[in-house]
Structure 1
């Protein structure tokens, strides 16, 4: 049973002679806030199994260990036993394939099932002491891959990777009608629609939004698209495709409802740098978007 979260690194020749503070802050990108939490909130720092402070000097081949303080789950997340389709998991990350109809985070009714609640129950059952750190979010009815950090250090590293554009996602979408382009890039700012707390729209006063679209196949009635985001605005794919005149099949917010019960959008592929090894990992969803 796991009771603490800790990470260990071996000091390289180029890092020898650094203070532990510089090793952690500069080489391993441990934030000042997290380092303070380790120091004052029940964590620990060790070099070669000996407790030290951040002023200690490190030598080549030293083993640096950081024990993180206990994590408390948000009171908004209610654990709920629900099946999870785990695509990949280790001590640092969890990759889940989410079904349609499941919110990633709890809505106003906290008792309703959410992916975060299912993950929290999964952690509790397995003895993992972390809370839920969602890295990539999806709309309730969007299916596909959701990346979750298993501790606060992994979350900070992956959040920085996302902000720098180092996390790549490819979506698959089915839209109404025969798509007009083989490929197109949409540069159209998005902002909240006046009078709505949910709907977004293309607006000159909105934030920059860039979407790249490639047509995979088409018929007179539907087209299948590959979509990549350069920015991450709320409902970006749905808004841009509807604005082009090709709303998602099943879309009911930005177009009139049609025969599909939910909109046809899937987070199909993700590539991200592992927060501990920095190795680039790539995964595809197991289920096909029908």
Structure 2
């Protein structure tokens, strides 16, 4: 693991909270699109929605220090373009000096926590466009779950439309992660059928008063050719949870990354907590797939 000064991080958070803004204001930024035009973003916004499991390990992401060490490894590897997180994670990474020359994606998060009676109340609870501009971040991201059987969806769609409009006006790229969802046995299930993903794309693409800065973040599902034929918006693939054979997962990513309109990959637990425990190898393989190395 990479050695990080956690004592200094804790002391700075306690005694010098204004240092967060100073570091973010002074970090070296990069162009969003450069080189081969593809992006490999490591995601770490799971803890803020109470999702601490990775594969069979129910509390894999509970240890913040281990998570930061794994993120430090990821951000040190060639081909990793940036990181996606909520403010607590992004501020930690900034204070540790890990965000220079990286794309920083601010997660707007979701209020509907997994397993809660209010799970479809997906009000945004982390970054908004104003704070992303304030901190000099490069990208916004939000989740758009559409449940035709739950009236809370209307509020989510309205809030997302406002965020998309605000992002376009501010010149901030915004990444929408849409799903068609439904209640099943008291829990929310995302429909990963090809037709459902295409429907979710159609709904999300029309949100806001301008689509000029809208990107999509989509799961890898059956018949991705038909999925990608349903949109002209730049698209990043969702890595998903670390289930099944890792080599099969890499193969599915490779096939989908070759499709027109796919600009790269956003993946978190699959490579931060790989089945074989080799974080560096998992990250390097994913980076090579994205950047065709």
TM-score by length of 2: 0.26
Q: Which has the higher contact order (CA 8 A, sep 6+)?
A: 2
TM-score by length of 1: 0.26
Of structures 1 and 2, the larger Rg is shown by 1
